[in-house]
Amino acid sequence: MEEYRDNGCRLGWLIDRAGKQVFIYRENGSIEIKGGATVSLSGEDILPELSIQIEL
């Protein structure tokens, strides 16, 4: 994901279904980890109308 970010990607989601986690990579270098049976994701300010739920 760092390579994507280095090439201009502003928001990335790495979904680890086995570990039941989602890693959210942002262009400022921060990484947020969400976990649980259901995870809600949004496009934040990049895709403001995008909102999805993923069942892990």
| pLDDT single digits (tens) 3-33 | 898 899 999 999 999 999 999 999 898 999 9
What integer is the mean pLDDT of 35-55?
A: 95
Provide CB contacts within 8 A for 38, sequence distance 6+: 53, 54, 55, 56
Structure pTM? Answer: 0.88
32 is in which domain, residue-wise?
2-55
The token pair at 29 is 């270098």
Residues 6+ apart with CB under 8 A from 9: 1, 25, 27
Position 43 scores a pLDDT of 97
Between CA 18 and CA 26 the distance in angstroms is 23
Number of domains in the chain: 1
Q: Residue 1: pLDDT above 90?
A: no
